[in-house]
Structure 1
Amino acid sequence: MKLSLRTMTQAIAVSSLISLSACSTADSPPAASAQANAAGGSPGADNGQVVLRIMDWSDSVKQLREEFHRKFTEKYPNIRIEYTQLTIDQFKNTVLTAVKTNDAPDLFPVPTGMKLTTLVKENWFQPLDPFIDDTFKNMFVEGTFQNGTTMVDGKIYSIPEALSLPSTLVFYNKKLFKEAGLDPQKPPVTYNEFRDYARKITAAGKGKYYGIIEGGKQSNRWLSTLREWSSLGGSGLNGSAPVSLVTKQPTYDSQPVLDLFALFKGLAQDGSFHPKTMSISAPEARALFAQDQAGFIIQGAWNVGVWNKDNPQLDYGVMAPPLPESGLKGSIPVTSNSAWIGLSAKSKHPKEAALYLKEFYGGDFFQAKRVESGDSFSVVKGVNEKYAKAPQLKAYYDIVQQYGRMIPDPSVRNPDTAAIFAEFKDVHPDAGEILSAVVAGAMKDEKSALALYSKQLGTAWNSAIEAAKGKGAKVSGSDFEFPNWDPMKNYTADDYKALK
C-alpha cells in the first residue's frame, strides 16, 4: 500500500533541518534601525515599532526567509523582525538558557528531543487559538493539528514548519558514476552493491573524490540513518520512542542493526568515506558533495532546493536506502505531524506574532517560493500541487511513497506519555555515537557496545516510566506497544480506535 499525497500530509512531520554555522540577522529596514540607534535606544524602542524576535535553525531557506522578512516589514512597517538562525544543537542550548532567564524569543520551535506537551506544562508556550481564526486553521492539510503532537488539551500550540519527508534517502552523483564505469540509471539496491559502488567510485577518484561523504560530527545524522535503514530490514526502530515496534523493547543490537553496522564498517575499511567526513557538519558535507567530491550522501529533501539554486551544474539523482541481503522486511518509518514553531508564553507581542504566522503560512510569497525552490513540501493546502516543480524533489517523494509507511505515535494514543519523555535521561554513547565511532575506527566491538547500550537504555526507559507514574501520569509501558501494527502498512486512525 503506497502513501498517497493526502496520507503523507496527514502523517509526516518536520524533519531535522540543520545549518552550517550560527548566524544572527536582523531583517529590518536599515532606516528603522538607524532611527532607533540615533535616538539612543535599542532598535525600534523609541519610534513606535514592535520588535518581534524569532529564532530557529532553518538554514536551507535562509535567503528566502530574509526576502520574506523584507516583504513583511514593507507591508507592516510598525514591526521589526529580529531573526536569529542557529544550528540545531546550538538552538537547543540557547533557547533553554533564554527560557530560564525569561528572555525567550516571541516565536521559536520545539527543540528536538523535547515534547510539546511537557513544554506547555512548563509554561514555555501559550495557545495560538486566541490570535488565529478558522480561516487560518482551515488552510492546513488534514491531520496538521491533533492532540499529543501540535495540540494540547484541544488547543493549538504549534504549527509544523513544512511537510517533511524522512531524511535518510541517498543522493548520488551521476557524473562520478560515469567516471567509475557505473550506470547512473541503475543505482545500487543492496548493501553489498552499495559498498561495491562506493569502492569503485573511490578507486576512480584517485584522491580527488570518494565513494561517500557524511556530516560525521553530527551524531543525530548517524542515529537517523541507523533507525530508518535498519527499519527497512525489520528492526522496528524509529524516532517516536526508544522502543522497537517489533521487540517492544529498546533493542539496538538486533540483526538488522548489526547488518547496517557491518555495511558502514566495511565502507570505512575500504577507504570509501571522504577523509573530511568525521570533522564536518551535514551542511558542509552537502557543499562538498555539490563540488563532485563524493559519489553518495545520505540526506533529506531540503538539499534539493539548495543544490538546484547554488549548484546548477551538479548532475545528481535520488535513490532509496539500500537493503540488506536478507531483503525488505519493513518500511521507512513515517511519523505524525510534529510540533515546530510556537508562541512564547512570555511574549508581549502575541498579535504581531500571529500576524507573522499568517503571512508565513498564508501569504502570497513564502510557501509558494519554498516549494517552487525544491526545498520541501508545504503543509498548506494546494501549494504543493501548484508549485512543486523540481524533479529531484518529486523523485524523493515517490521513493517515500514506495518505501515509507506511517507508524503508530504513542503521543496520539496517550498524550500523557509526554511525561515519560520529560523524565527520560538518554544513555551515552547512544547508537548513533557508536556508529560514528565505528566509522572513525575508534571502536572495534560494536556488537558488545550495542548490547550494553540496549540494556542501559531499557533501564533508563523503565525508570522514566516509573518516575512519570510516580508524579501522577497515567502511563505504562503498554502505551508503546501496538499489537495491530503491520510494518508494511500505514497505521491509521481506525487502528488507534481498534486498540480502545
Structure 2
Amino acid sequence: MIKGWRSLSIACLAALNVLAVTACSGTNSGKAPAPDAGNGQTAEAPKTDKITLRVMDWADSEKPYREKFIKDFEAKYPNIKIEYTLLTSDQFQNTITTAIKSGDAPDLFPIPGNMSLSMAVKGGWYQPIDPYIDDEFKNRFVDGIFVEGTTMLDGKIYSIPALSSVPNTLVYYNKQLFRDAGLDPEKPPKTYSEFREAAKKITEAGKGKAYGIIEGGKQIGRWKLAAMDWSALGGSGLNQHSPISLVTHKASYDSKAVLDVFGLFKGLKDDGSYHPKTMSISAPEARALFGEGQAGFIIQGEWCIGVWRRDNPNLDFGVMAPPVPDDGQKGFLPQSNYSPWIGISQTTKHPKEAALYLKEYFSKEYQSVLVKAGDRFSILKGVNESSSDIPQFKQYYDIVQKTARLVPSPQIRNPELTSVYANYKDIQPGIGDILQGVVSGAVKEPAAPLKQLSDGVDKALDAAIAKAKSEGAKVDKSDFVFSNWSADKHYKAEDYKALK
C-alpha cells in the first residue's frame, strides 16, 4: 500500500507503508447493501444527472476485486460511472502532482508516500470528509483510525487508511526451490549468513531458471522499507514516523545496524543471487515472477498472498520473518500507527458521490472479501476475525505479532508538528536510493553516502523546526525524543500521556 521518511504515518509502502502498497476486492453477493445512513434508513445515491467519478490509486493487488466492486457499484447507482486509474506507487507520485497542478485532479485519490497530510491539505489537495459522513460510518472502524495529526487536522477528517498497519517487509520463500537446493523448507534461514547462503544455493541449483531472490528494483520505496525495517531488527531505532532514530535521537542512517543490512544486500548481489531482471521491474512484476517459481525469496507485504492464491494456485510457498544479524536480534520491526490514504479532492464537483463511494468501499461486505482473499487486514471492526482463513495469511499475522512492535509517532504526541513536516525538505539520495545503487552496482561503498544522508537529515530537520517556530508553531526537537520508549514493547496511548 506505501511511501522520505514520511511514508506511513505522515505518508506509504505501502505503501505503504507505503503502502507503498495494497489491494481491494469485490463482494461475494455481487451487490453490497447500501450503507446505513445513521437513522435506520438505507443510503441513496444523490439524485443528479449521470456523472463520472474519477478514482486513482496504486492498489494493484486489488485490481480484480476492485473491478467487480466498480461493476456492482455502477449497477446499484446507475447515475454514477466510475473511471478508475491504476498506477504503481512511484508512477502515482508524479502523476497526481501533475494532475493537481494542471487543475485536473481525480475526485478520489490517496496521499502519495512523499507527503504528509498537513502538506497536502495546506496545498489545497483535499477537503474535509465530515460533511458527507455520519456516526454510523465512523463507528465501523476500529479504534485509532481517526487521530489528530494523521488522518485528521483541526478536528476534521481528511483521509481514511487503506488497511490495518502491519510491516510489509516480511519474506516469502518458495518451498519447492528450497527442496531442489537441498534446503529444509520447514526451517527457513534466521540470520544474515544463513539467508545469503540459502539464496546462493538456490541460484546454483536453479541453473539460470531460478535465482535466490527477486525484487521490484525500480521502486525506491521497496528498498527504503527493507533498509529501515530490517535495520530496526538490528537495533537502529529507525522507523517511518520520524526522520531520526529512537535510539540515538539523531539521523543515524550510517549506524552499524544499517551498514550490516547494506552488507547483506551487497553480498547477495556479489554472489549473483538476484534475479537478472530485478533492477528493471516493478514490485508487481517481481511478485509475478516469484509466483512462476523464478526466485527463492521476495520481500513483500500480506497482499501478495491473495494474488498468488488466485494466479498461481500450485505455488508452494511459506512466510518467514526477516533474517537478523549474525550477532543476534537487537530490536523489533517498527509497526506504524494507521496512516492516511484516500481522500476527497478539494476541487471535486461531486463530493457527495465521492463519499458514497467511500461508504461502499469501506463496507463490511467488500472489506470481508479482501480479507478472505488474502489481500489485506481490514480496519473495520470484526472483519479480520470473521474472514481470515488462508493459512499463509494467518502465518503472516502470527509472525507480525512476534516480531513487530508499535512505535511512537511524534505527530500524535504533538499535532503542531504538522508545521515541521510541511517545512521539511527531503534529502536526496535517500536510504532507498542508496540501497538501490548498491544492488545495481552504481554504489560501491555505501558508508560515505549514508553519512552524508545522516548529516543532511539532521540539518533539514533543524531547519524545519526553526521555520515552524517562526510561523508560531509550538514545537521542539524534544518532540521527537521518547524517553519511555522500549524496543520490545508496544507504544500505547498511556505512554504518550506519561510524557506530558
1:229 and 2:234 correspond: no
Q: Secondary structure at the match of 1:158?
A: coil
Could you tell me whether the CA contact under 8 Å between 1:52 and 1:82 is conserved in 2? Answer: yes
Letter in structure 1 aligned against 2:352: K
**Match in the other structure for 1:360:** 361
Q: Which runs of 5+ in 2 are unaligned?
A: 1-11, 23-47
* Correspondences of 1:142-221 after superposition (within 5 Å): 142-221=143-222
Q: Which runs of 5+ in 1 are unaligned?
A: 1-11, 21-46
**Match in the other structure for 1:471:** 471
Q: Deviations over 1:367-415 (max 9, x none)?
A: 1211111011111111111111111111111111001000000111111
Q: Distance in 2 between matches of 1:249 and 1:261?
A: 19
**Match in the other structure for 1:428:** 428
Letter in structure 2 aligned against 1:16: V
**Match in the other structure for 1:76:** 77
Letter in structure 1 aligned against 2:253: Y
Could you tell me whether the CA contact under 8 Å between 1:52 and 1:79 is conserved in 2? Answer: yes
Could you tell me whether the CA contact under 8 Å between 2:174 and 2:295 is conserved in 1? Answer: yes
**Match in the other structure for 2:451:** 451
TM-score w.r.t. structure 1 length?
A: 0.90
Q: Deviations over 1:349-373 (max 9, x none)?
A: 1111111111111263x21211111
**Match in the other structure for 1:404:** 404
* Correspondences of 1:30-429 after superposition (within 5 Å): 48-362=49-363, 364=365, 366-429=366-429
Q: Distance in 1 between matches of 2:217 and 2:246?
A: 28
Q: Secondary structure at the match of 2:296?
A: strand
Letter in structure 1 aligned against 2:183: L
Q: Secondary structure at the match of 1:482?
A: coil
User: How far has the Cα of 1:123 moved from its partner?
Assistant: 2.5
Could you tell me whether the CA contact under 8 Å between 1:232 and 1:332 is conserved in 2? Answer: yes
Which piece of structure 1 moves more, 291-300 or 118-127?
118-127
**Match in the other structure for 1:15:** 17
Percent of aligned pairs with the same amino acid: 58
Could you tell me whether the CA contact under 8 Å between 2:227 and 2:258 is conserved in 1? Answer: yes
Letter in structure 2 aligned against 1:105: P
Letter in structure 2 aligned against 1:334: Q
User: How far has the Cα of 1:457 moved from its partner?
Assistant: 2.0
Letter in structure 1 aligned against 2:265: F
Q: Distance in 2 between matches of 1:93 and 1:445?
A: 30
Q: Secondary structure at the match of 1:377?
A: coil
**Match in the other structure for 1:481:** 481
Letter in structure 1 aligned against 2:338: N
**Match in the other structure for 1:23:** none
User: How far has the Cα of 1:316 moved from its partner?
Assistant: 0.3
User: How far has the Cα of 1:499 moved from its partner?
Assistant: 0.8
User: How far has the Cα of 1:443 moved from its partner?
Assistant: 1.9
Change (3 A) 1:19 1:407: closer
Q: Distance in 1 between matches of 2:387 and 2:141?
A: 16
**Match in the other structure for 1:7:** none
Aligned-pair RMSD on alpha carbons? Answer: 1.6
Q: Secondary structure at the match of 2:362?
A: helix
Q: Distance in 2 between matches of 1:154 and 1:246?
A: 32
Q: Distance in 2 between matches of 1:164 and 1:146?
A: 14
Q: Distance in 2 between matches of 1:174 and 1:144?
A: 37
**Match in the other structure for 1:438:** 438
User: How far has the Cα of 1:17 moved from its partner?
Assistant: 4.4
Could you tell me whether the CA contact under 8 Å between 1:117 and 1:415 is conserved in 2? Answer: no
Q: Distance in 1 between matches of 2:170 and 2:361?
A: 28
Q: Deviations over 1:192-223 (max 9, x none)?
A: 11011111111111111111111112121111
User: How far has the Cα of 1:48 moved from its partner?
Assistant: 2.1
Could you tell me whether the CA contact under 8 Å between 1:18 and 1:282 is conserved in 2? Answer: no
Letter in structure 2 aligned against 1:126: Q
Q: Distance in 1 between matches of 2:413 and 2:320?
A: 33
Q: Secondary structure at the match of 1:159?
A: coil
**Match in the other structure for 1:25:** none
User: How far has the Cα of 1:96 moved from its partner?
Assistant: 1.5
Q: Deviations over 1:27-73 (max 9, x none)?
A: xxxxxxxxxxxxxxxxxxxx920211111111111111010011011
TM-score w.r.t. structure 2 length?
A: 0.90
Letter in structure 1 aligned against 2:121: V
Could you tell me whether the CA contact under 8 Å between 1:164 and 1:376 is conserved in 2? Answer: no
Q: Deviations over 1:295-342 (max 9, x none)?
A: 101111110111110010110000000000121111100111111111
Q: Secondary structure at the match of 1:389?
A: coil
Q: Distance in 1 between matches of 2:68 and 2:202?
A: 40
Change (3 A) 1:494 1:18: closer
What is the number of equivalent residue pairs in this alignment?
462
Q: Secondary structure at the match of 2:456?
A: helix
Q: Deviations over 1:210-239 (max 9, x none)?
A: 111111121211110010000011000111
Letter in structure 2 aligned against 1:492: K
Which piece of structure 1 moves more, 168-177 or 350-359?
350-359
Q: Secondary structure at the match of 2:232?
A: helix
User: How far has the Cα of 1:122 moved from its partner?
Assistant: 2.8
Could you tell me whether the CA contact under 8 Å between 2:425 and 2:460 is conserved in 1? Answer: yes
User: How far has the Cα of 1:175 moved from its partner?
Assistant: 0.3
Q: Distance in 1 between matches of 2:100 and 2:438?
A: 37
Could you tell me whether the CA contact under 8 Å between 1:378 and 1:384 is conserved in 2? Answer: yes
Letter in structure 1 aligned against 2:346: A
Q: Deviations over 1:60-90 (max 9, x none)?
A: 1111101001101111111111111111122
Structure 1 residue runs of 4 or more that deviate by more than 6 Å after TM superposition: none
Letter in structure 2 aligned against 1:254: S
Q: Distance in 1 between matches of 2:21 and 2:498?
A: 41
**Match in the other structure for 2:25:** none
Q: Distance in 1 between matches of 2:69 and 2:188?
A: 38
Letter in structure 2 aligned against 1:396: Y
